[in-house]
Amino acid sequence: MTNLSVNINKIATLRNSRGGNIPNLLNVAQDIERFGAQGITIHPRPDERHIRYQDARDLKNIVTTEFNIEGNPVKSFMDLVLEIKPTQVTLVPDADDAITSTAGWNTIKHHSFLKEVIQELHQNRIRTSIFIDTNASFIEAAAKIGTDRVELYTEHFAAEFEKGNKEAVKPYTEAAILAHKLGLGINAGHDLNLKNIEFFKQNIPNLDEVSIGHALIAESLYLGFENVINMYIYRLQ
C-alpha cells in the first residue's frame, strides 16, 4: 500500500486569513491522523504566509504518524528542521515568493550543495527526499548524492490526465523503475486528486508515499475530511 501524507498548508492559509486560531491547525492534524492518513506534510516558507515556523514546532509534539517538512534548504529552514528532527525532510527548490512548487531540482547542477545538505540531515537521523522531475540523469545524480528518496513532481501528469492523455504517466513509470533500481524510495506529489490518483498508483511501481494538499482540502469542502481521506486510502491500496 502507498501511504497518504496530507499537506495542511491550506488549513493554515484559512486560519491566517481571519486571524485568531480558527480552524485550529493542531486539532485538524490530529483529526486527519484519526481519519486514517499515514502522515502530515507542511511546507513552511520564509514569509510564513501559511504555515508558521512555530506551527512546525507545535506539530512536532502532536503528530504521531510520519511528519514530513518540505522546503528550500535556506539557513532558516535548515535551522528549523534540525531543531525539530521530523521523520522526513523533502528538499524543494522554491523561490521565496513562489505560490507553489513549479519544478524539481537539477541534481547535476546542485550536486555538491544537495550532498552537503543531505549529509547534515542524515547526521541528525532525518530521512531525506528530493523533489525532482522525471529526467533520468537527474534521478541518477540524486542517487549519487545519497538521498533516501525522490519525490516525483506530478504537475505535468495531472494536467495531461485531465485532458484525457493517459500516456503522460509513462515517464513517471520509467522514472520510478529507475529510482527503485538505484535503491531510492519513491514519493510523488503535486496536483494529484481523487480523479487521477488511482490510475497513477496503478502505473507507478514501488510507490511509497503521496503528499496531497490543495486538491484534498478542496474535495473535503464538499465531501468532508473523513470521507475524502478514506477515499484516497482505498484508491492507494
Tell me which DSSP letter residue 134 carries. Answer: S
**E-strand spans in 43-102?**
66-71, 88-91
Active-site residue (options: 33, 43, 209, 219): 43
**E-strand spans in the chain?**
3-7, 39-42, 66-71, 88-91, 127-132, 149-153, 185-189, 207-212
Does the active-site annotation cover 155?
no
Q: Are 187 and 152 in contact (CB under 8 A)?
A: yes
Does the active-site annotation cover 190?
yes
- Unique residue bearing C-alpha cell 495531472: 158
With residues binned 3-state (H G I as helix, E B as strand, rest as coil), the percentages for the chain, rounded to 5, are 50, 15, 35
Active-site residue (options: 33, 66, 70, 209): 70
Does the active-site annotation cover 70?
yes
Q: Is the peptide bond before 23 cis (omega within 30 degrees of 0)?
A: yes
A 10 A CB-CB count for 75 gives: 7
Active-site residue (options: 66, 190, 209, 219): 190
Grid cell for residue 80: 528549523
- Residues serving a catalytic function are 43, 70, 190
